């Protein structure tokens, strides 16, 4: 079995390869050639354990992830975990992969894939609200799917926004990066807005007249009481695209506006239908995508990481 750590993952895959793996996952989802149970949530004292198994023709695997929000106070990662990748023919474990890095990079690629297919061709500036691990990976991968000229990063703590800006300067050399503590300013001045927080209240105010032609990518919320987008936003969008159907029940960003009658369930559509041309985009409308993640993404990305790591002689072989 191959042990693949954080550094191995970074060396194994490139941003556009990750986007390709996410697109592959959507196509598998659309063909229904997979077996993906709803992920299991176990909540205790504000902490969460996520168990995400899945099967595709070429492999199967399970990701175990823990989310401990108070770890920030201990200067420890909020998210940690592992991904076990198995051979689909024999069941043998092929790899044990760093789950936190896998999650960060595949989620960054999910956001980037949505930006690639939803954003206007004329988009020049993208903005990210939140300055944590996911904000970094969104910027890292989104910066490769379109010729953006500028990135705005925002956090209520300016020191975090500045740190993220400084960290990204050497990674996105052709993109001008600025930071702010004002999320409404970011929304006004960005063509693509990506939210990466675990907020229970909307992270910006929606001035409807300033939202035309913008693309919104919701990444952070994953529980029924979490809400990054203001309710007014859902009164302005024709369609909302999601990575998985249970997003409507799982995250407050969709659950709350549906319950209040602001968002109609029939206007919540699978992103895979967009990729397979079963749905079309209105060229002038506000575009909105909401992700809660699914194990199919983990599988296709884990398989990519494993195959590339083998090819590049990365990772550590162990006998168990």
At 142-175, the pLDDT tens digits run: 999 999 999 999 999 999 999 999 999 999 989 9
Task: Return the pLDDT at 246.
Answer: 86
119-294: CATH, from 3.40.50.720, 1.50.10.100, 3.40.50.2300, 3.40.190.10: 3.40.50.720
Confidence of residue 283 (pLDDT cuts 50, 70, 90): low
Strand order in the sheet with 79-87: 40-44, 47-55, 59-67, 79-87, 93-98, 2-4, 316-317
Q: Map residue 87 onto helix, strand or coil.
A: strand
> Burial of 93 by CB count in 10 Å (0-12 exposed, 13-18 middle, 19+ buried)?
middle
Please state, as a whole number, how many other Cβ atoms lie within 10 Å of the Cβ of residue 293. Answer: 22
Question: Count of residues for the chain?
Answer: 320
Cα three-residue angle 51-56-60, rounded to 5 degrees: 50
Instruction: Give per-residue pLDDT as tens, 196-250.
Output: 999 999 999 978 778 888 999 999 998 899 999 999 999 889 899 999 988 998 8
pTM higher than 0.95, yes or no?
Answer: no
Q: How far is residue 278's CA from residue 266's CA, in Å, rounded to a whole number?
A: 15
pLDDT tens-place string over residues 20-68: 999 999 999 998 878 888 778 898 998 999 898 989 988 899 999 898 9
Residue 147: the pLDDT is: 94
244 Rama sector, left if φ>0, alpha if ψ -120 to 50, beta otherwise: beta
CA torsion angle 211 223 298 58 (round to 10): -110
Q: Please list the residue range(s) of the chain that carry CATH number 3.40.50.720.
A: 119-294
Question: How far is the C-alpha of 26 from the C-alpha of 22, rounded, in Å?
Answer: 6
Ordered strands of the 176-180 beta sheet: 176-180, 150-154, 125-129, 192-195, 215-218, 287-290, 240-242, 268-270
Instruction: Please give the mean pLDDT across all residues of the chain.
Output: 93
Q: Give per-residue burial for 301-320: e unless 16+ CB within 10 Å, then b.
A: bbbbbbbbbbeeebbeeeee
State the DSSP string of 6-60. HHHHHHH--HHHHHHHHHHHHHHHHHT-SB-PPPEEEEETTEEEEEEEEE-SSEE
Q: Which CATH superfamily is domain 2-103+296-317 in?
A: ornithine cyclodeaminase, domain 1 (3.30.1780.10)
Distance between CA atoms of residues 217 and 67, nearest Å = 22
Q: What percent of the chain has pLDDT over 90?
A: 76
């Amino acid at each position: 079995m191959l042990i693949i750590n954080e550094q191995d993952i970074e060396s194994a895959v490139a941003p556009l390869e990750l986007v390709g793996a996410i697109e592959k996952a959507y196509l598998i989802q659309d063909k229904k050639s997979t077996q993906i149970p709803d992920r299991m949530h176990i909540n205790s004292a504000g902490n969460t354990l996520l168990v995400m198994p899945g099967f595709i023709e070429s492999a199967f695997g399970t990701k175990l992830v823990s989310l401990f929000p108070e770890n920030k106070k201990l200067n420890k990662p909020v998210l940690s975990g592992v991904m076990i990748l198995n051979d689909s023919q024999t069941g043998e474990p092929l790899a044990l992969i760093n789950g936190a890095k896998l999650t960060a990079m595949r989620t960054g690629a999910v956001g980037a894939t949505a930006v690639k297919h939803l954003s206007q061709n004329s988009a020049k500036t993208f903005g990210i609200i939140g300055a944590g691990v996911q904000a970094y990976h969104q910027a890292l991968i989104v910066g490769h799917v379109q010729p953006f000229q500028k990135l705005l990063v925002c956090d209520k703590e300016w020191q975090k926004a500045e740190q993220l800006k400084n960290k990204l300067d050497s990674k996105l050399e052709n993109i001008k990066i600025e930071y702010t503590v004002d999320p409404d300013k970011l929304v006004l001045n960005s063509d693509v807005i990506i939210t990466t927080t675990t907020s229970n209240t909307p992270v910006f105010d929606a001035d409807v007249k300033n939202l035309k032609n913008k693309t919104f990518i919701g990444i952070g919320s994953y529980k029924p009481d979490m809400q990054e987008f203001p309710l007014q936003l859902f009164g302005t969008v024709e369609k909302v695209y999601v990575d998985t159907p249970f997003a409507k029940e799982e995250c407050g960003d969709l659950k709350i506006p549906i319950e209040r009658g602001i968002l109609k369930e029939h206007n919540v559509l699978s992103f895979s239908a967009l990729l397979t041309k079963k749905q079309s985009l209105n060229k002038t409308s506000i575009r909105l995508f909401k992700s809660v993640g699914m194990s199919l993404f983990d599988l296709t990305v884990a398989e990519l990481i494993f195959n590339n790591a083998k090819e590049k002689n990365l990772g550590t072989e162990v006998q168990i």
